[in-house]
Structure 1
Amino acid sequence: MKEKLQNAMQTFARSIIQPVMFMAVTGIIIALAAIFKLEAMPKFVQDVGNLFFTVLSSGIIGQLSVIFCVGISAAIAKKHKTDAAILGISVYLIFLYTNNFWLNFTHRLAKAGSQGLFGTGQSMVLGIQVTDMGVFLGIILGCLVGYFINRWGGVKFHKYFASYEGTKFVFLLLIFTTIILAILVTYIWPPINALVSSTVKLMGTSGAVGLFAYGFLNRMLLPIGMHHLLWMPLYYSPLGGTAMIAGKSYSGALNIFLAEVGNISKVHSMDWSIGFLVNFGYIFLPIGIALAFIKTAKPENKAKVKGLVIPAVMTAMLAGITEPIEFMFLFISPILWLAHGIIYGLGLVIPHIFGLKIMVGNVIETIMYCIAIPMRLGHQWLIIPIGILMVVIEYFAFKFLILKFNIPTVGREEELVGDEALKTTGSEVISTNDTNAQMSDLIKGLGGASNIQNLENCYSRLRIDVRDISKIDLNLIKQFPSSGVINKKNNIQIVIGPGVESTRDELDSYIAGLGTKDY
C-alpha cells in the first residue's frame, strides 16, 4: 500500500509540472509588457504592452485551470495521450455546464456585487458561472481522466461494437462520473473552500515562520523530486493567497504578482504573498557554495573544481536550475544538505524582515521585474546587500562544516580527481562517446527498452519508471552525461539540467529506432 501511494505521488508530481513549465515564458513576457506600459514610453509602445499583458493575463493566468486539466490528463495517461487531451477539455466543459445548470436549478447562483463574484464562492470560468475551485478543478479532472484512461483505455468489445471500445468507452464513463461530480461539488466544495481560506489566513499571519518552513521543506523534498507539490499550489492556487487587482480576482502567489506587474500603476502596495517568490537560492546561494568548494579544495585540484562549479553556478543563475550545484554535495553529506535547507529558508525570511517586495528568481527574471516595478513598491535596492549577506552565510557555513567533518566534496578526494571524481560526486560527466553509444549504454543500464514502462521529464530531470528493478545497472546509468542519478525503487531520475527536453526527445527517438531489438 505504501509503495502504491509513493508511486501515485511520484506520478502526480511529474505530471503536474508539465503545464507549469510554460509559465516562465509567460512571466518574462508579462514583465516586458509592463516595461512597455510605463508612462515614459510612447503611446504605440504602451498599446503593444497592453496587448500582450491582456492576452497573457486573461488567456493564460486566467485560464490556468483548463490548461492544468488538459496537461495533467495527457501527462498521467500512459498511452493514448492525444485522446487524453481531447477527453480532458471535453470533461472540463461537461463539468462547467453541469455545475452551472445545478446551481441555477437549485436557485443557488450567486449575484455579483461591487467586486463581482469575489467572496461569493463562485466565479466565471470560460464565461460560465460555476463553483469557484481555482486550479484545483483542472487538477482533479486531469487526474480523473488520466486514471480512467490507464484503467479502462484498453477495453475491447465485439467487432460490431468496436467503435465504442477503448478511449470511447472511457469517455462514456467520464460523462456520467463528471456530471455526478459537478453536482456533488456544489455541496462539498464550500466547506473545503472555507478550510483553504483559513489555511491561507494562517500562512499570511505566520510571517517569517511560514516562509522559513516553506523554504526549508522546499529543499528537503528536492532529492525525491516532490518539491513541486509544495511550491506549485502556493504559486498557482488559492493556497498562495487571493487578491483583487484592477477589478479582477487572482489566486496564487505568482499569479497575483504577475497581475500586479501588469497593473503596477494601480498598485499601492505589494500583496503579502510576494514572500514566497523572494528566493535567493538561484543567484546567490550557489555562489556561496561554489566559493566554499574552491576554498576547501586541495591546491592541485582548485583549477579543476573551478571548471566544475562555475558552469553549475551559471546554470542556476541564468536558467534557475540548481540541481547541478546541489547534487555535488547532496549524496555526499546529509549535514551539508541540512545546513543548505536551513540557509535556504533564511533566504526567504531575511528579505521579509527587511521589506524586499519583488520576485527574485534567476538573473533574467529578476532584472526584468526590477525594471518593471517602481522602487517605492519593490525596494529592489535591497537585493544586492541581502544577496551578498546570503553568499557570506552559505560560504562560511559550508567552509566550516567541510573542514570540521572532513567532508570529501569536489577537489578534496585523496586519489579520485578529474573525471573519476566527477562521477563520484554526481556532477556533470562529459563523455567522449557519441550520442548513440551513450543512449545504448543508458538503455542497457535501465534493463533494456522492454523494461522501460514510462519516460517523462520535468524542468531538469528524466523520470523513468521501470518494470523490474533487479535489471537496473546503476553504474552503467551513471556513465550517461548527467548531474546525478536518483534511484527510488522502480523510479529512476536522471538530473540533466538545461536541455532535458532535447535529451528526452533523443532517447524517445533512439528507443523507437530499436524496433524489435531490446538494446
Structure 2
Amino acid sequence: MYPYLQRLGRSLMLPVAVLPVAALMLGIGYAIDSQGGNQFSALLMTAGDTILSNLGILFALGVALGMSNDRDGSSALSGLVAFLMVTTLLKPDKLTDIVNIPLEELSYSFEKIDNAFIGIISGLTASSLYNKFSKTRLPDAFAFFSGRRMVPILTSIAMIFVSGLLYFIWPPVYEGLVGFGEWISGMGWFGAALYGFFNRLLIPTGLHHALNAVFWFDLIGINDIGNFWASVGEKGVTGMYQAGFFPVMMFGLPAAGLAIYRKADPRYRKEVGSLYLAGAVTAFVTGVTEPIEFSFMFIAPVLYFAHAILSMLSLGFAAFMQ
C-alpha cells in the first residue's frame, strides 16, 4: 500500500508543478485591484483561476499518466474521458433528466462534483484499465480498436458504473461534512481548531471545500471572509476561521519545504529546491499551499498528519487570542 501511495504522490507532481504560476497570477491580479476593475488585473485573475478551478481535470490527467506502466499519452486521454464522464453524468442539470427527479430535489453536493478527489478517482480508474487492457488484441474484424485504442472506450463504460456508485455515496459524504462543520461552529476557539485539523486532512480529497462553505461563506450565516472584507461582524470573532492559516501559509509550510530540501538526497537537491522555492513563494504571497502539500502528503503521510495537527494548533491559538 505504501509504495502505491508513493507512486500516486509522484504522479501528482506533474499537475502540481503548474499551480505556483497560476496562484501567483491570481495573487498579483488581486494585489493590483481586488475588485477586478483594472483590465490587467482581471486578465491575471482569470488566467490564474482557470488553472486553480480545474484541479480535478489536471489531477485526472496527471494520475492516469503517472500510474500507467509505460506513461503513454493514451492513458492520459483515458483519464480525461473518465473525468468528463463522471462530472457530466452527475452534473445537476443532466442528472435531473437521467434519474427523473426535479432539480430542486437533488442534493446540493452535486454542484461540487468536479473536484480533485473525483479527478484522482478518474485517473486511478483509467490507469488501472490501461495497465490491464492496453496490450489486448481483438479479432481481426475489430483490430482497429485493439490495445491502447480500446482503453478510452472501456474507461467510458466503467465510469458509468462509477458514477452510479457516486450518485449514492457522494451526497451523504459531502452533506455529512457540512453537518459536521455546522456542529463544530458553535464550539468557539476549539471549533476553529477542529476546523483547521480537518481542513488540512481533507485537502487530498478536495472535500475541504465542504467545510470551507460552512465557515468562510454564507451557508449558515458565518460568512467569515465576506464579513471580514466588509468590516462587519463581531470584533475578535469575525476572521477567527482565517487568522490561524496565515502563520501556516506564510511561515510553517515554507519552513517545511526548507527542511525537506536540506534532508534531500544531494543528487536531487537542485530539483527539490526549485520545487519548494516556487511552492514557498506561492504559499507566502497567495496562500495557495497545495504545491507544497501535494508534494509530500502521499509520500510521507505521517508528516502530513503532523502538518494537520500543527494547523489545528495555529487556528485554535489564533482564535483563542482573538
Decide which structure has greater strand share: 1
**Unaligned ranges ≥5, structure 1:** 124-130, 219-229, 250-255, 289-311, 322-336, 357-378, 380-519
Mapped pair 1:241 → 2:212: yes
Tell me which residue corresponds to 1:515: none
| 2:80 is the counterpart of 1:77 | no
Q: Residue 280 of structure 2 corresponds to which residue in structure 1?
A: 320
Conserved? CA contact 1:19–1:67, under 8 Å = yes
Q: Residue 16 of structure 2 aligns with which residue?
A: 20
Q: 2:153 aligns with which of 169, 172, 181?
A: 172
The letter of the residue matching 2:84 is: L
Is 1:91 matched up with 2:82? yes
Q: CA deviation at 1:83?
A: 0.8
Contact 1:211 1:349 in 2 (8 A): no
Which of 1 and 2 has higher RCO (CA within 8 Å, sep 6+)?
A: 2
1:37 is the counterpart of 2:33:
yes
The residue correspondences of 1:47-86 to structure 2 (distance < 5 A) are: 47-57=39-49, 59-86=50-77
Over residues 184-230 of structure 1, what are the superposed CA-to-partner deviations in whole Å (9 max), with x where a residue is unaligned?
A: 32223212223333455567654465478679xx9xxxxxxxxxxx5
Please give the secondary structure, in 2, of the residue aligned with 1:60: helix
1:434 is matched with which residue?
A: none
Q: Give, in whole Å, the separation in 1 of the partners of 2:98 and 2:161.
A: 15
- Which one-letter code corresponds to 1:194 in the other structure? E
Supply the distance in 2 between the matched residues of 1:48 and 1:207 (Cα, whole angstroms).
Answer: 40
CA contact 2:192–2:315 (8 Å) conserved in 1? no
Residue 278 of structure 1 aligns with an amino acid whose one-letter code is: P
Write out aligned runs for 1:375-394 (5 A). Answer: none
What SS does structure 2 have at the residue aligned with 1:272? coil
User: Could you tell me how far 1:343 is from its partner in structure 2?
Assistant: 10
Paired residues for 1:205-216 under 5 Å = 206-207=190-191, 209-210=193-194
Cα shift at 1:241: 2.3
The reply to whether residue 145 of structure 1 matches residue 137 of structure 2 is: no
In structure 2, give the amino acid aligned to 1:184.
Answer: L
Letter of the 1:170 counterpart: V
% same residue: 16
Change (3 A) 1:17 1:316: closer
Deviation digits for residues 26-67 of structure 1 (CA, Å, limit 9, x no counterpart): 22211110111058x9x7xx221122213322x223222222
> Partners in 2 of 1:185 and 1:87 — Cα distance?
19
**TM-score using structure 1 length:** 0.42
In 1: Cα distance, 2:274 partner to 2:141 partner = 61
CA distance in 1, matches of 2:174, 2:213: 12
Alignment of 1:274-289 (within 5 A): 275-276=244-245, 278-279=247-248, 280-282=251-253
> Are 1:278 and 1:348, in contact at CA under 8 Å, matched by a contact in 2?
no
Counterparts of 1:36 and 1:144, CA distance in 2: 42
State the match for 2:109 in structure 1.
121
Change (3 A) 1:236 1:72: farther
Q: Is the 8 A contact 1:73 1:88 kept in 2?
A: yes
Which secondary structure state, in structure 2, belongs to the residue aligned with residue 121 of structure 1? Answer: helix
Q: 1:91 to 1:351 in 2, by over 3 A?
A: closer
Task: Report SS of the residue matched to 2:53.
Answer: helix
Which residue identity does 1:50 align to in structure 2?
A
Q: Tell me the distance in 2 between the aligned counterparts of 1:343 and 1:236.
A: 17
Could you list the per-position Cα deviations for residues 446-496 of structure 1 after superposition, in whole angstroms to 9, with x for gaps in the alignment?
xxxxxxxxxxxxxxxxxxxxxxxxxxxxxxxxxxxxxxxxxxxxxxxxxxx
Instruction: State the distance in 2 between where 1:98 and 1:342 align.
Output: 37
| TM-score using structure 2 length | 0.64
Q: Distance in 2 between matches of 1:99 and 1:315?
A: 35
> C-alpha deviations, 1:359-386, integer Å up to 9, x for none?
xxxxxxxxxxxxxxxxxxxx9xxxxxxx
Superposition RMSD on alpha carbons, in Å?
A: 4.8
- 1:349 alignment counterpart: 313
Q: Which runs of 5+ in 2 are unaligned?
A: 233-237, 260-271, 282-301
Q: Partners of 1:235 and 1:267 in 2: how far apart? A: 29
| Amino acid corresponding to residue 37 of structure 1 in structure 2 | D
Q: Deviations over 1:418-468 (max 9, x none)?
A: xxxxxxxxxxxxxxxxxxxxxxxxxxxxxxxxxxxxxxxxxxxxxxxxxxx
What secondary structure is seen at the aligned counterpart in 2 of 1:154? coil
Asked if 1 retains the 8 angstrom alpha-carbon contact of 2:30 and 2:41, the reply is yes
Using the TM superposition, give the Cα deviation of residue 73 of structure 1 relative to its aligned residue in structure 2, in angstroms: 1.2
- TM-superposed CA distance for 1:89, in Å, is 1.6
* Equivalences, count: 274
Cα 1:313/1:63, change in 2 over 3 Å? closer
Note if contact 1:233-1:239 (Cα within 8 Å) is conserved in structure 2. Answer: no
Is the contact made by 2:254 and 2:279 (CA closer than 8 Å) also made in structure 1?
no
Richer in helix (by share): 2
Cross-structure match for 2:138: 157
Question: How far, CA to CA, are the matches of 2:131 and 2:184 in structure 1?
Answer: 37
CA distance in 2, matches of 1:97, 1:235: 18
Confirm or deny: 8 A CA contact 1:70 1:85 kept in the other structure.
yes
Distance in 1 (CA, whole Å) between partners of 2:307 and 2:62 is: 34
Q: Decide whether aligned partners of structure 1 residues 187 and 346 sit closer, same or farther in structure 2, where only a CA change above 3 A counts.
A: closer
| Cα deviation digits, residues 141-197 of structure 1 (max 9, x gap) | 111011111122222335554322212222232122112222332223212223333
Task: Find the aligned partners of 1:63 and 1:165 in 2 and give their Cα distance.
Answer: 31
- Which 4+ stretches in 1 moved above 4 angstroms? 198-209, 211-215, 234-237, 243-247, 264-271, 282-288, 312-319, 341-348
Is the CA contact 1:241–1:273 (under 8 Å) kept in the aligned structure 2? no
> Given that residues 257 and 280 in structure 2 are in contact (C-alpha distance below 8 angstroms), is that contact kept between their aligned partners in structure 1?
no
